[in-house]
Amino acid sequence: MLDSLIVGFDKALRTLCAASTTTRGVPGAECAEPALSAQDKSHSGALMRINHVGEVCAQALYQGQALTCHDPEIRRALEQAADEETEHLAWTEQRIAELGARKSMLNPLWYLGALTMGAVAGKLGDAVSLGFLAETERQVEAHLDHHLSELSVQDVKSRAIVKQMKLDEMAHAVTAVRLGARDLPANIKTGMRLVAGVMTRAAYYI
Nearest to 173 by CA among 150, 206, 142, 145: 142
Please name which of 5, 189, 19, 171 lies closest in space to residue 93, comparing C-alpha atoms: 19
Q: What is the pLDDT of residue 181?
A: 93
Pick the residue with more confidence: 1 or 183? 183
Answer left, alpha or beta for residue 32, where phi above 0 means left and psi between -120 and 50 means alpha: beta
pLDDT band at 6 (very low <50, low <70, confident <90, very high): low
CA distance 142 to 166: 9
| 196 contacts 51 by C-beta, under 8 angstroms | no
- Model confidence, pTM: 0.90
Q: What is the pLDDT of residues 94-124, one digit of tens each?
A: 999 999 999 999 999 999 999 898 889 888 9
Q: Is-contact 127 71, C-beta < 8 A?
A: no
Rounded to a whole number, what is the distance in angstroms from the first to the last CA of the chain? Answer: 35
What is the per-residue pLDDT for 52?
Answer: 95
pLDDT tier, 85 (very low <50, low <70, confident <90, very high otherwise): confident
Number of C-beta neighbours around residue 68 at 10 A: 18
